[in-house]
Amino acid sequence: MTQGRARRGSVRRLPAFAFPAVLALLVLVVPLVGLIVRAPWGDLGAELAAPEVRQALVLSITTSLWATALAILFGVPLAWVLARLEFRGRALLRALIVLPMVLPPVVGGVALLLAFGRRGLIGQWLDQAFGITLPFTTTAVVIAELFVAMPFLIIAVEAALRSSERGYEEAAATLGAGRWLVFRRVTLPLIAPSLGAGAALCWARALGEFGATITFAGNLPGTTQTMPLAVYLALQSRPEGAIVLSLVLLAVSLGVLVLLRDRWFAAA
């Protein structure tokens, strides 16, 4: 009885909500439909083979994979520190780490420029001591991507470390395993699924990076022109190329979603 009433109630309330709900859905879906409808499906292969498209594709994939690898290498230890050590200012540190996730990427690019630019805080010293200049190099692309994408990995891994049973690590210690061995043989395998999810998110974010990259690394074809930059540029001269690159990015995003579906949509 109550179930029937509830159903009737929800049906009655539906029209009031239907209009904005459909509108919201349209806002999210129509652009993607537009992209797919307008895609030059017949010339897909040829467009992908076009030198500037391929160049951007290869650069994007290389830099984003580098950024992800570095994020794992540095981010996992940082996540461990946040999750396992008690120290003053930990909350502040965590806020600092999350900041790049909400910061407009352009601001990140400006900040990177001021830090690593030729007259920047560290860049100045790098230039004088080693003759290294970072801005407008492929390295700068990787740094920009690392800056915006690493927080995603750190947050995912830290959450996993927090919720994982400390007892397993203690049990391993009583069996004679030192800290490193415990981490390698027990902690890491136990958080592997979360690490994978965090890495996938991190990679997707690095692949889509635009604002910080164009500000800090510029837009030099073959060196710093990643896919999103190429899309933006191609849109003005050769829309087909832009559409094809957009399709590739869309496919990657869908791929990541499919990969993570069990983690995010299991409850649904």
Partner 1 sequence: MMLDADVRLRLGELLLEVRLKAAPGQLVVLVGPNGAGKTTLLRALAGLVPVDEGRISLNGEVLEDTSREVRVPTERRPVGMVFQNYLLFPHLSVIENVAFGLRARGVSRSEARQQGAVWLERMGLSAKADAKPRSLSGGQSQRVALARALATSPSLLLLDEPLAALDAPARAGVRRDLRRHLATFQGVRILVTHDPLEAVALADRIVVIEGGTIVQSGDVAEVTARPRSRYVAEFVGVNLFRGRGVGDSIEIDTGGALAAPDARWGDAFAVVHPHAVSIHRKEPEGSPRNVWRGTVEGCDFEGDRVRVRIQGTPSIVAEVTPPAANELDLVDGGPVWVSVKATDVVVYPA
Interface with partner 1 (CB under 8 A): 165, 167-168, 170-178, 181, 185-186, 189-190, 192
CB of 87 to partner 1, least distance (A): 17
The length of the chain is 268
Q: How far is the CB of 263 from partner 1 (least distance, A)?
A: 17
Q: Comparing C-alpha atoms, which of 198, 196, 206, 247 is closest to residue 62?
A: 206
Q: State both tokens at 42.
A: 């017949």
Nearer to partner 1, 30 or 192 (CB): 192
- CA angle 74-107-245, nearest 5°? 80
Q: 207 with 63: CB under 8 angstroms? A: no
Residue 136 or 168: the one with the smaller Cβ distance to partner 1 is: 168
Q: Where are the beta strands (DSSP E) in the chain?
A: none
d(CA 80, CA 68): 17
Two structure tokens written together for 85: 């050590």
What's the min distance (Å) between Cβ of 172 and partner 1? Answer: 7
CB of 168 to partner 1, least distance (A): 6
**Which residue, 53 or 76, is less far from partner 1 as judged by CB?**
76
**Cβ(133)–Cβ(113) below 8 Å:** no
Minimum CB separation from partner 1 for residue 176, in Å? Answer: 4
- Asked if 197 contacts 220 with a C-beta cutoff of 8 angstroms, the reply is no
Query: Minimal distance in Å, beta carbon 16 to partner 1?
Result: 48
Angstrom distances, CA of residue 60 to CA of 69, 157, 259: 14, 24, 20
- Tell me how far, at minimum, the Cβ of 99 lies from partner 1, in Å: 34
Angle between helices 138-163 and 51-84 (to 10 degrees): 40
Smaller CB separation from partner 1, 177 or 233: 177
- Across 219-241, b (16+ Cβ under 10 Å) vs e yields eeeebbbbbbbbbebbeeeeebb
